[in-house]
Chains A and B, each alone.
Chain A
Amino acid sequence: MNNEKKATRQSYGEALLELGKENPNIVVLDSDLAGATKTELFKKAFPERFFDMGIAEQDMISTAAGLATCGKIPYASTFAVFAAGRAYDQIRSSVCYPKNNVKVCATHSGITVGEDGATHQMIEDISMMRTLPNMKVFCPSDDIQTKWLIKEISKYNGPAYVRLCRLESPIIYDKSQKFEIGKAVQIGNGKDATVFATGIMVSEAIKAKEELEKREIYIRVVDVHTIKPIDEEIIIKCAKETKKLISIEDHNIIGGLGSAIAEVLTEKLPQRLIRLGIKDEFGKSGKAEELMKYFHITAEDIVKTI
């Protein structure tokens, strides 16, 4: 992990631009938020393949489905609260049930949206999206992984939900790092505990790991970038190899990463899991860093839990 920071929404915009150059079937739709979701980079380069749908997210998702039925690969973007929430039935009926090749890329997820407050802080989307048959759910942790993911999802024919962040976060990986859909990344080999983290929380978990090392406590971090299909193998392996299991997410603890892991443990290897995340309440206004402390989803909270 280096000191350079970048928001995954920015990485998304840059990746889309590259993908647009490589694949003429890529089209992008946005709901009046191209500046914030960073699809404006694609818009400027390929105006004939970019559709501003106005402030109408439901229309955007179903339109994307129509484009997909004709062989296009639509990436549809808006804030997570409007994508997964407002357009839920469109994602369900027009995208997932017919298996249409629509990539829903939602930025501004979680309480780290900050000052806009609860109405704009989506903490239920992982839960809602992973319950949809045919949907794959992703939450990349840094710039390198996001750029890989945005390209990778264009290679399979079917729905995707990608959860992106507004807040800048550290770049974790080297450019040479290899990723695979459905395979979580294990960072470290510590046996004292496993911290399963996703998205912006991965860098917090790594900070906690470094802090704990100073105290001679050795943990491992598992970056779960694919929440569905979940990597059962690594969950079982870590449950066997480490003394304590913790999950952390910028999401409601109901239905999110922690729940997905608990489901695997319950069936395969029953074991205690401590879930860190938003404890079933709405967010609030404030600076992102202040809110992370308020909701107890920082490196410090991980250290305390261990």
Chain B
Amino acid sequence: MKITDIEELKKIANNVRINIINEVFNGKSGHPGGSLSCADILTVLYFNQMNISSKEPNAKQRDRFVLSKGHASPALYAVLAEKGYFSKKELVTFRNIKSKLQGHPDMNKVLGVDMTTGSLGQGLSVANGMAMASKINKDGFRVYCLLGDGEIEEGQIWEAAMTSAHYKLDNLCVIIDNNNLQIDGEIENVMNPYPIDEKFKSFNFEVITINGHDIKDIVEAFNKARQIKGKPTVIIAKTIKGKGVSFMENQADWHGKTLNEEQYKQAINELERN
């Protein structure tokens, strides 16, 4: 069932953020910054946009999602648990030796994960392959792929971007989580990929730029992408790394580390106040 009420979606996104913090705190490692930055996007995808059901996780004609920035696995697990693919109780086992919730998503371990990812730069190619399969079979499903803004420094992304447009994959929608930070700092200082919009335009994509934390904006962008024919769409979502936890926001340092007891309490407090 698709949720269209913006306030309800906001509430779910906040729960997703709480889940993310619980995972990274209990797992004693993981990537909170880039998980929090894409929490709103994933919430809209799984609760408002995608044709999926946790009751039929392997349905042939379901929409597909590829988390190319696989290190944001806490966000994907958080959304899948909210959606009922597995129990929310399992989230605290994240990265544990007995857990199915691997550091990076494993499609053979977790129901609802459409592709195993982790090595950056490969997800867009995989999403293209899925979109091609949808077209050959005339299945009509759509494919979504989330990329990190630092991730697009990988050359394979641009090989894949050529392919998306060459094969006119209008059933493909790429989202860039443009939080402007990668491990070593601001993306323009580490290896500048800007202007991202002009690059994708010149690769023959339809380009939509939005505020990646405005639920209404996100819904409208995905709806617009559905109308585009003959070419793929990229949504450049301007986001804030660590969004929702004050001390994590815009701090590259929070790319990949866990919280101590005190930080955990503060983060949960802040999120529960929303």
**Residue ranges of A at the interface with B (Cβ–Cβ < 8 Å):** 27, 48-49, 51, 53-54, 56, 58-72, 74, 89-90, 92-94, 97-99
Q: Which residues of B contact A65 (CB under 8 A)?
A: 115, 122, 125-126, 129
Q: Mark B159-172, 1 if CB is under 8 A from A, else 0.
A: 11011001100000
Main secondary structure of the interface of B (DSSP, over half): helix
Q: Which residue of A lies closest to B157 (CB)?
A: A59
Point out the residues of chain A lying under 8 angstroms from B183, CB to CB.
none
Task: Please report B residues at the A interface, Cβ cutoff 8 Å.
Answer: 60, 64, 66, 106-108, 114-119, 121-123, 125-134, 136-137, 139, 155-156, 159-160, 162-163, 166-167
With a cutoff of 8 Å between Cβ atoms, the chain A residues found around residue B132 in the complex are 51, 63, 66-67
B133→A70 contact, CB < 8 A: yes
Q: Let me know if A69 and B126 touch, CB within 8 A.
A: yes
Asked whether A64 and B119 contact (CB < 8 A) given A56-B162, A99-B108, the answer is: no
Q: Which residue of B118, B122, B133, B137 contacts A62 across the interface (Cβ within 8 Å)? A: B122
Contact call B159/A66, Cβ cutoff below 8 A: no
Cross-chain contact A62 with B136 (CB below 8 angstroms)? no
Q: Whole-angstrom distance between the alpha carbons of A68 and B134 in the complex?
A: 12
Check A56 against B129 for contact (C-beta < 8 Å). no
14 contacts between A and B (CB under 8 A): A48-B136, A58-B159, A62-B160, A63-B125, A66-B66, A66-B125, A68-B129, A69-B107, A69-B114, A70-B133, A71-B60, A72-B133, A94-B115, A94-B116
Q: Tell me which residues across on chain B come within 8 A of A92, comparing CB atoms.
A: 119
Q: Which 4 residue pairs spanning A and B have beta carbons closest together?
A: A66-B129, A62-B125, A70-B133, A59-B159
Which B-chain residue is minimally distant from A62 (CB atoms)?
B125
Q: In the complex, which residue of chain A has the Cβ closest to the Cβ of B166? A: A54
Are the CB atoms of B162 and A54 closer together than 8 Å? yes
Q: Which of B126, B137, B139 contacts A94 (CB 8 A)?
A: B126
How many Å from the CB of B129 to the closest CB on chain A?
2
What is the predominant secondary structure among interface residues of chain A facing chain B? Answer: helix
Q: Report yes or no: A59 in contact with B133, Cβ–Cβ below 8 A.
A: no
A54-B162, A67-B133 known; A93-B60 Cβ under 8 A: no
Inter-subunit contact A56/B163 (CB<8 Å): yes
Interface centre among A63, A72, A98 (most CB of B within 10 A): A63
Do the beta carbons of A98 and B106 come within 8 Å of each other?
yes
- In the assembly, what is the distance between CA of A90 and CA of B133, in Å? 19
> Can you name 20 extra interface pairs (CB under 8 A) apart from A60-B125, A69-B115, A94-B125?
A27-B136, A54-B159, A58-B125, A58-B159, A59-B128, A59-B159, A59-B160, A61-B125, A62-B122, A63-B128, A63-B163, A65-B129, A66-B131, A67-B130, A67-B133, A70-B129, A70-B133, A94-B116, A98-B107, A98-B108
Contacts of A97 in B (CB 8 A): 106, 116
Rounded to whole Å, the gap between the CB of B151 and the closest CB of chain A is: 13
Among B121, B156, B166, find the residue whose CB has the most chain A CB atoms closer than 10 A: B156
- How near does chain A come to B153, taking the closest CB pair, in angstroms? 14
| C-alpha gap A48/B159 in the complex (Å) | 21
Determine the chain B residues whose CB is within 8 A of the CB of A68 once the complex forms. Answer: 129
Q: CA of A175 to CA of B155 in the docked complex: distance in angstroms?
A: 46
Distance in angstroms between the alpha carbons of A70 and B130 in the assembled complex: 6
